[in-house]
Amino acid sequence: MSSFRRFTDLAESLPPTVPFVGPETQERTMGTTFRARLGANENGFGPAPSVIEAMSRAAPLSWRYADPENYDLRQALSGRIGLAPERFVIGEGIDGLLGLVVRLIVGRDTPVVTSLGAYPTFNYHVAGFGGRFVTVPYRDDREDMDALLEAVRREDAPLVYLANPDNPMGSWHGADAVVEFATSLPESTLLVLDEAYCEFAPEDALPAIAALADMPNVIRFRTFSKAYGLAGQRIAYGFGTAGTISRFDRVRNHFGVNRLAQIAAVAALADEEWLSHVKSEVRRSLQRIGEIGRDNGLEPLPTATNFVALDCGDAARARAILEELAKEGVFIRMPGAAPLNRCIRISAGPAPEMDVLAEALPKALARIA
């Protein structure tokens, strides 16, 4: 029997890829569940009770399609951020929005500039549309904006990706430096500025909205997955000039954002008290992770996110710690590229999970000493 031959040459050339192996997959493999889920930078403190109530009220209408214009959410974001509603695009998490922006710009062999070891889902989308990666290494555990700019100019790249604050290292650049980077780019290069962790960042890390608002070659992505505790609902947004944002209507799945996610996001924006509570809990947890790391000879890196990178010295030791912690029922992750992969990455979580980590880490280390 002949093999099926309808797939594109591009699809056939790509290896099967899973950017992240989920904790559920690992649990099925192990035949047990994790006691502490600290690897996906989720918000273990959960969404606000007001959000859960709003979703519960709306659940009986789940038979209806969602509003394809995301009208209520764009109005709410407009009121919060101070830009007109037509300057927002809503998507299925930042991952979904990254796929759309890549689809708009990247074709076969299009050069795309990013940092070596940066958020891998962006790379997944670029590969899926046949783009050509141009990567630059981190410098001092931060994305190297000077090197990114040089690569953009050298390659005449139409797309560059920068996360600030950064995943997987938790590092950040100041707002002035980000604005300087953006304004130094060629007008033909679109900057994707991933601000998924913006709610946890110091104020001087985030460019003012007005600083980049009128640049058609800048789009800023933010999410409800982290500070707002809605990772499972898959909802995020981007904002830029109306002309740039309008292009998304040409390629997006207009019914892709589900109804409950829209309602949850609007309710989350309205509950500032819960957001403040979560930020306080995250700060407390990050401090605890740092203390646990130091107590066990692992140095925490400074962070502007809801996770801490702990320096383990080298990649082999970091991998061994990750694997031994999994045996103790603790799910964490680690960066995939050198020299970042000398670290493990641990997300903030509720106090009981921090207690599990404090108990498990010395046991894991004892087995690899």
Q: What is the 3-state secondary structure (H, E, C) of 61-122?
A: HCCCCCCCCCHHHHHHHHHHHCCCHHHEEEECHHHHHHHHHHHHHCCCCCEEEEECCCCHHH
Nearest CA among 132, 152, 136, 134 for reference residue 144 = 136
Structure-model confidence comparison of residues 12 and 271, the more confident one: 271
> What pLDDT digit, counting tens, does each position of 186-207 carry?
999 999 999 999 999 999 999 9
- State the pLDDT at residue 1: 45
pLDDT band at 2 (very low <50, low <70, confident <90, very high): low
Residues 96 and 182 in one domain: yes
Determine, yes or no, domain membership for 39: yes
- CA dist., res. 263 & res. 166, Å (int): 28
Residues 295 and 353 in one domain: yes
Global pTM value:
0.96
Residues 156 and 135 in one domain: yes
Residues 311 and 346 in one domain: yes
Using the Cα atoms of residue 53, residue 54, residue 56 and residue 57 in order, give the sign of their dihedral.
positive
152: pLDDT strictly greater than 90: yes
Determine, yes or no, domain membership for 137: yes
Over residues 99-125, the mean pLDDT reads 97
Beta bridge partners of 136: 115
Residues 72 and 151 in one domain: yes
Number of domains into which the chain is organized: 2
4: pLDDT strictly greater than 70: no
Mean pLDDT of the chain: 96
> What pLDDT digit, counting tens, does each position of 35-66 carry?
999 999 999 999 999 999 999 999 999 999 99
Nearest CA among 225, 265, 253, 219 for reference residue 239 = 219
Residues 265 and 343 in one domain: no
Three-state DSSP at 162 gives strand
Question: What is the rounded (10 degree) CA torsion for 229, 230, 232, 234?
Answer: -140
CATH of the domain at 209: 3.40.640.10
141: pLDDT strictly greater than 70: yes
Residues 340 and 352 in one domain: yes
Residue 254 belongs to what domain range? 49-270
Beta bridge partners of 89: 238
Q: Which of 230, 253, 270 is the last residue of a domain?
A: 270
Residue 265 contacts residue 235 (beta carbons within 8 Å)? yes
